[in-house]
Amino acid sequence: MPNRLGDAIRSLLKQRDLKAFQLGEQIGVSPTSVSKIMNGASRPRQSTFSRMCEVLCTTKAEEQLLVSAFAGSESLQFEDEDPAPYGKQVEPSAP
C-alpha cells in the first residue's frame, strides 16, 4: 500500500531543501517521529499535522496536496487550481 502522506512530505521537503530531522526541529517532534510518519508506521496528531502544513506549505496547492494525503482521499479538486500564495484569499468563481 502506497504511503501518500510520506510521499507528499518527501516532495515538499525536497522543494524546501529541508531534511526530515530539520522538519522535526521546526515542528517540535523527534526525528524518529518524523521518520515513522514518513514511513507510514504512525499518523501525526492534528496539531503536529497543522505545524507541518505551516512549515511545508507556501501555496494552496501544496496545502491541498498534504491535506489530501493526510485524509487518504484520492484528491481534493477545486475549480480554481491557480496556486495562490498560502493564506491569500481566492475569490470563488461565479456560477
pLDDT, tens digit (0-9, with 9 covering 90-100), for 22-54: 999 999 999 999 999 999 899 999 999 999 999
Q: Can you give the pLDDT at residue 72?
A: 81
Tell me the mean pLDDT in the region 53-64: 95
Q: Which residue has the higher pLDDT, 4 or 93?
A: 4
Tell me the mean pLDDT in the region 55-82: 74
d(CA 95, CA 84): 20
- Phi-psi bin for 21: left (phi > 0), alpha (psi -120 to 50), beta? alpha
Beta bridge partners, 85, equal 59
d(CA 37, CA 43): 5
Q: What single letter denotes the amino acid at residue 3?
A: N
Q: Which residue has the higher pLDDT, 1 or 93?
A: 1
How much is the pTM?
Answer: 0.73
